[in-house]
Structure 1
């Protein structure tokens, strides 16, 4: 029979007791009971992959967007609304790419920030500012293309105006004002030498801005999906209604290209904004450390895809727009000094023979390309 006194079960553990919990166990139990306890989330396991990928994105994005900007500025063409939007997209991508070396140095040096908290906030907020400027401009381009293909007289007069300049000015002004406000009001990052890392937040204003940006993205994404679907259906219908046209197959290819652009936009931005909701909730609620660590890793991986879009935009300009493709090839030939007299004469003769056989080919190509969101009517 057990003679142990019941009171012994209520006797506090002493340091000499074999049943006394260790300090690590006490800390683990405290963290389990209070998930809001500060967790040690340093992201050390991802710093090398992040440094490598951001380095590649910086090199490719800088070269591609500088070339795209040069082509846009050198092209002797009417400054249409789409061309104005695309130039601003290129500028936003360039500014985003310029922020990447700070992240590269930070991750490659063991997640150690030496430029002070103010510079950390400047680089961090500028990165997101340019990402959302690019997203918003792509949404406006889709609206512009959708309205123009309906060929309404009132809409055409509206689209001929300088509304693209006004829209871009409003977007940049609002983005800069919000970014400056965030830089001035955001609290210092916790811990010395830390930046771009997970941290808890209790600022209602900051949380509101984060959720507002998520809502903005989904609104823009809805516009893109609706515009692309309508443009694609219209191109498919034209190809079916007029199968005897010499360029009927071109309409089908153009429709496929439109869905390809939407696919790239989905891959780059949708994962980040799905993860973003979970990430923000983990910052403001009592979340266990394991879930905070998962949110941090998922957010960093999805952010890589968003940054990758700055490298894909110049590729889309080149693949989907014949005028940009011709200008880019011409510039590259001049840079590497490849003699193209023979090539030009052969291409010219072939083009003349093709035009004699199919005189409406250029007009049909131009009309089909203008229906694409990323195929502006520039350089024509």
Structure 2
């Protein structure tokens, strides 16, 4: 809906558009709360089980398993916040801005959401790049890839160490929390409650409001480097996919391939899956966010003259805010699909998960405890640690992530 000077007359002494109310539709009042509750019911048990398998059921844990366990921790944090998000979208339009529930969403839930998104992005990118680096170093010894010259040999040896993976994950947490928390705290403490236009126009300040959903100019400015970082990581994953694809083509033409083409294909498939997850879940939100911020910036410069029914006027960005929230839901849904990704792509994880539920095909009728992992897990650990060349003698037993 376009607002013209006939419906909202402009005035040099009028109020900003943030004084108007958002007009939530069924998408906000019913769809988003239902989707977030469904996300809670699937993400919480799925990631709790994944974390249990990674920490307790795999004796020879690999660097990739370390990364995925940190990803499960981040997803668990996300799943705990989803009931509060469901309540926010269902009742935020009647919650008071200064109320306890609204303040919890602003100060507690908002930082956790953004931390989860960018920790997930960074960890998935690292998993893709580490698989790519181990592959190009070990699967074409007679004709090494030119990419191996860009990094020192010490880096490739560190990829095989779980301690290095632990330090990488700790760095990811530190960088993400250090960058996201100041922005979200400033947004929730200053920008989301700084404009009292609605109070000055006689309207009740509610939690689901333009100030909360749009924020201010400073947090929007800080968001730009975050979006740029996302696209840099996205391009890195895309570049690794294209390079591995080229590496496979070279291997097929070579007469001295040091490993099976099936292994190359499985590693390529894993990078493709990560690329698809990022593209479907995270890319739409990050494409739309700059457009939304630009539209909000243009509208922030405009004013309107308050009338007798100011509180009943809908904010011009109401529909775009709902679209933004739906795309953010798509990004959060990744927390529910990640355990399925582990199960489908990682043989070690799948084997131990089936064993927990009593479906151990190698030991029918005899369920073993998680701590008793067989030689298949050890071989998977070798493969995961990057020893591709020595572990390919029995690739069917290895983990493919």
> Which TM-score applies when normalising by structure 1?
0.74
Q: Which runs of 5+ in 2 are unaligned?
A: 138-147, 196-203, 303-313, 369-375, 377-388
* Higher alpha-carbon deviation: 150-159 or 250-259: 250-259
Report how far residue 361 of structure 1 moved: 12
Deviations 1:63-118 (A, max 9, x none): 11111101101233444332221111111111111111101122233644452443
**2:24 pairs with 40, 43, 56, which one?**
43
Report how far residue 29 of structure 1 moved: 3.5
Paired position in structure 1 for 2:392: 363
SS in structure 2 opposite 1:43? coil
Report how far residue 254 of structure 1 moved: 5.2
Contact 1:250 1:365 in 2 (8 A): no
Contact 1:129 1:179 in 2 (8 A): yes
SS in structure 1 opposite 2:357? helix
Please tell me whether residue 269 in structure 1 is matched to residue 282 in structure 2: yes
Report how far residue 366 of structure 1 moved: 3.5
Please tell me whether residue 157 in structure 1 is matched to residue 157 in structure 2: yes
Report how far residue 41 of structure 1 moved: 1.7
SS in structure 1 opposite 2:299? coil
Paired position in structure 2 for 1:128: 114
Paired position in structure 2 for 1:118: 103
SS in structure 2 opposite 1:192? coil
> Within 5 Å, which residues of 2 pair with 1:1-380?
28-30=7-9, 36-38=16-18, 39-46=20-27, 47-109=29-91, 111-113=93-95, 114-121=99-106, 122-151=108-137, 153-161=153-161, 162-182=163-183, 184-185=185-186, 186-187=189-190, 188-189=192-193, 192-195=205-208, 199-204=213-218, 206-238=219-251, 241=254, 248=261, 251-252=264-265, 255-286=268-299, 292-333=317-358, 340-341=364-365, 363=392, 366=395, 375=401
Distance (Å, rounded) in 1 between the aligned partners of 2:159 and 2:8: 63
SS in structure 1 opposite 2:174? helix
Rate the CA distance shift 1:325–1:242 in 2: closer, same or farther, 3 A: farther
Report how far residue 207 of structure 1 moved: 2.0
The alignment of Structure 1 onto Structure 2 pairs a total of residues equal to 331
Q: Which runs of 5+ in 1 are unaligned?
A: 1-23, 345-350, 352-359, 376-380
Contact 2:110 2:184 in 1 (8 A): no
Rate the CA distance shift 1:147–1:194 in 2: closer, same or farther, 3 A: same
Report how far residue 253 of structure 1 moved: 5.6
Distance (Å, rounded) in 1 between the aligned partners of 2:365 and 2:48: 27
> Which TM-score applies when normalising by structure 2?
0.70
Over the aligned positions, Cα root-mean-square deviation in angstroms equals 3.8
Question: Based on CA coordinates, which of the two structures has the bigger radius of gyration?
Answer: 1
Rate the CA distance shift 1:108–1:76 in 2: closer, same or farther, 3 A: same
Contact 1:97 1:310 in 2 (8 A): yes
SS in structure 2 opposite 1:341? coil
Contact 1:65 1:93 in 2 (8 A): yes
Rate the CA distance shift 1:101–1:41 in 2: closer, same or farther, 3 A: same
Asked which structure has the greater RCO (Cα within 8 Å, sep 6+), the reply is 2
Report how far residue 313 of structure 1 moved: 0.9
Deviations 1:271-320 (A, max 9, x none): 00011111222232226877522321221121121011111111111001
Distance (Å, rounded) in 2 between the aligned partners of 1:92 and 1:133: 7
Contact 2:63 2:160 in 1 (8 A): yes
Distance (Å, rounded) in 1 between the aligned partners of 2:315 and 2:256: 59
